[in-house]
Amino acid sequence: MSNVDASVSWLVELEAIAEGQASRLSAIYDLRHERTHDLVEFVVDVGRNPDIDLLTDACKILKAIGGF
C-alpha cells in the first residue's frame, strides 16, 4: 500500500471523507499527473478540455479535508 493509499484510508476511517470521495481521489491524482507532465500540450491543444466534474469533486474533497 502506498503512502497516498494509506492516507486516504485513514481519512475514510476517521470519516473525514466518504468512501466514494476516496475512490474519486484516484482519478484526481491521475489528472494531476497528466496535467503536470503534459502541461504544454494541454495549453497548446485547444481541444483538450479539463474534466470540470473531476475538478469540482477535487474542490469538494479538499473542503471536506480542510474542515476535518
pLDDT digits (tens, 9 = 90+) for 2-12: 898 899 999 99
The boundaries of the domain holding residue 33 are 3-67
pLDDT digits (tens, 9 = 90+) for 39-60: 777 778 777 777 889 989 999 9
Provide mean pLDDT across the span 20-42. 85
Q: What is the pLDDT of residue 19?
A: 94
* Number of structural domains found in the chain: 1
Is residue 36 helix, strand or coil? helix
Provide mean pLDDT across the span 1-29. 92
* Side-chain half-sphere exposure of 43, counting CA atoms within 13 A: 5
Write down the pTM of the prediction. 0.71
How far is 54 from 27, CA to CA, in rounded Å?
8
